[in-house]
Amino acid sequence: MKNKPVTVPEIQGRKAAAKKITALTACDFGFARLLDPTAIDIVLVGDSLGMVSLGYENTLPVTMDEMLAHARAVRRGITRALLVGDMPFMSYQVSLEEAVRNAGRFIQEAGASAVKLEGGQRAAETVNAIVRAGIPVMGHIGLTPQSVHQFGGYRVQGKNYLDARQICQDARHLEKAGAFSLVLEGIPADLAAEITAAVKIPTIGIGAGPACDGQILVLHDLLGLTDGFTPKFVKRYAELGALAKEAVGRYIDDVRSGAFPAREHCYQVERENWPIQRGENKGCGG
């Protein structure tokens, strides 16, 4: 029997039940199939796929069409977890109308159950317009990567008093606007704890400490598929990148040495009445 799909009210109920929410990103069908048999609650098709799948330097170049193509692929591999589509840069900032239309595309064209967008107080009206269209919205505050140029880099947010107060206000504005949950990214753990206690909707942390109602990571980071700088908040549960390189190296060695393909990798067919058996073979050209 298939497990029941995770719903938005179920995620909301986790806060009162004090049962931690688990969330991960996925960017294609293959990774979605890996996650599907696990107990993961939320699968986010995050715009971080721009960096881990598409090779962009940051998330800013990612378009709606790219996000929808990836979200559709993930949808085909996920049967149980709540699927959330991440609204890319410039898909919700220009007007409320565009924001609602683009949020609707994630639901209609990719089969997502909710969308996520970045921004606090200044995004509250947009969140509310999308919610009024019947689409659940996950907020995202703190270190919001689409504002990397405004921040001057990927820096922990809320370190000084005024910034911390603003992030608290952001959380309250999004809750009031109707967001069903909040991603808290790159903020001090005590600030995340304060916000988690202050709002009724669940908080999902990434680089925000243990007090959040749940945690999210980029799947590529968790699996050790990214190289270069690993942020402090990432725990690499495997080193699949190193394993993959080692496997490819062994394949290259085997092909070069003739060890692959071996007899067990070849089709052996019993042939009857072939000219070759009567010494009449004319070869491929004959």
Q: CB of 144: closest distance to ligand KIV in angstroms?
A: 8
Instruction: By CB under 6 A, name the one of 14, 80, 86, 195 that touches ligand KIV.
Output: 86
In the complex with ligand KIV, the residue whose CB is nearer, 128 or 215, is: 215
Write the binding mask 172 to 201 for ligand KIV: x where contact by CB under 6 A, - elsewhere: -----------x-x----------------
Choose the catalytic residue: 97, 118, 175, 185: 185
Q: CB of 10: closest distance to ligand KIV in angstroms?
A: 20
- What tokens does 38 get? 């696990």
Q: Are 171 and 144 in contact (CB under 8 A)?
A: no
In the complex with ligand KIV, the residue whose CB is nearer, 199 or 212, is: 212
Of 39-47, 121-129, 173-181, 252-260, which segment contacts ligand KIV by CB under 6 A?
39-47
The 8-class DSSP code of residue 27 comes to -
Of 42-50, 99-107, 173-181, 225-233, which segment contacts ligand KIV by CB under 6 A?
42-50
**Cα–Cα distance, 227 to 176 (Å, whole number):** 39
Burial class (CB in 10 A: 0-12, 13-18, 19+), 39: exposed
In the annotation, is 185 catalytic?
yes
In the complex with ligand KIV, the residue whose CB is nearer, 129 or 212, is: 212
Q: Are 30 and 77 in contact (CB under 8 A)?
A: yes
Q: CB of 116: closest distance to ligand KIV in angstroms?
A: 7
Q: CB of 204: closest distance to ligand KIV in angstroms?
A: 8
Q: Are 64 and 88 in contact (CB under 8 A)?
A: yes
Size of the site for ligand KIV (CB under 6 A): 11
Amino acid code (one letter) for 171: A
Q: CB of 216: closest distance to ligand KIV in angstroms?
A: 5
Q: Are 100 and 125 in contact (CB under 8 A)?
A: no
Instruction: By CB under 6 A, name the one of 110, 171, 208, 218 that touches ligand KIV.
Output: 218
**Cα–Cα distance, 8 to 41 (Å, whole number):** 10
221 binds ligand KIV (CB under 6 A): no
48 binds ligand KIV (CB under 6 A): yes
Q: CB of 254: closest distance to ligand KIV in angstroms?
A: 37
HEC letters along 101-113: HHHHHHHHHHCCC
In the complex with ligand KIV, the residue whose CB is nearer, 48 or 102, is: 48
In the complex with ligand KIV, the residue whose CB is nearer, 139 or 188, is: 139
Peptide bond before residue 37 is cis, with ω within 30 degrees of 0? no
Nearest Cα neighbor of 80 from 45, 42, 135 is 42
Residue whose structure tokens are 């991603």: 183
Query: 104: which residues sit within 8 A by CB, 6+ positions away?
Result: 133, 135
In the complex with ligand KIV, the residue whose CB is nearer, 46 or 136, is: 46
User: How many Cβ atoms sit within 10 Å of the Cβ of residue 96?
Assistant: 15
SS3 44: strand
213 binds ligand KIV (CB under 6 A): no
Name the site residues for ligand KIV (rule: CB under 6 A).
25, 44, 46-48, 86, 183, 185, 206, 216, 218
Residues designated catalytic: 185
